[in-house]
Amino acid sequence: MAEATFAPNDLLVSDVQVVTRNITIAQGQDLPRGAVLGRVTATDSYVLSASAAVDGSEDPALVLAFDVDATAAPVVAAAYAGGAFDSTKLTLGAGHTPATVETAFRAAGTALFVRVLK
């Protein structure tokens, strides 16, 4: 498997503790840092969460920590399991908004927070 690369930006905001974990990004995706990910239950891999999915990935679970090109093969990459994020820096899948992602994070009891900055 390939490795992801770090591309810093101002995605992280606030003083919420940042927690990362390594996950597998499913093949066939080229995702930017800040992509909101859902877990495909059958494969335990992650894809860009889309609200209409029916494979488990419809529920936002993590935020991608690095740009990842998994178009040719699955990639092991770091994802945020804790932190606060600028809503304008997140990449959302079809049918999601910052509000629906925040609601999903709260329902799951995660330490992930979406902030709307003014």
Q: What is the pLDDT of residues 54-110, one digit of tens each?
A: 999 999 999 999 999 999 999 999 999 999 999 999 999 999 999 999 999 999 999
Whole-angstrom distance, CA of residue 85 vs CA of residue 13: 5
Q: What is the pLDDT of residues 34-69, one digit of tens each?
A: 999 999 999 999 999 999 999 999 999 999 999 999
Domain residues of the chain, as ranges? 2-115
What CATH superfamily is the domain 2-115?
A: Head decoration protein D (2.40.300.10)
* Beta pairing partners, 51: none
Give, for 102, the enclosing helix (H) or strand (E).
helix 98-108
pTM over 0.85: yes
CA 59 and chain centroid, separation: 11
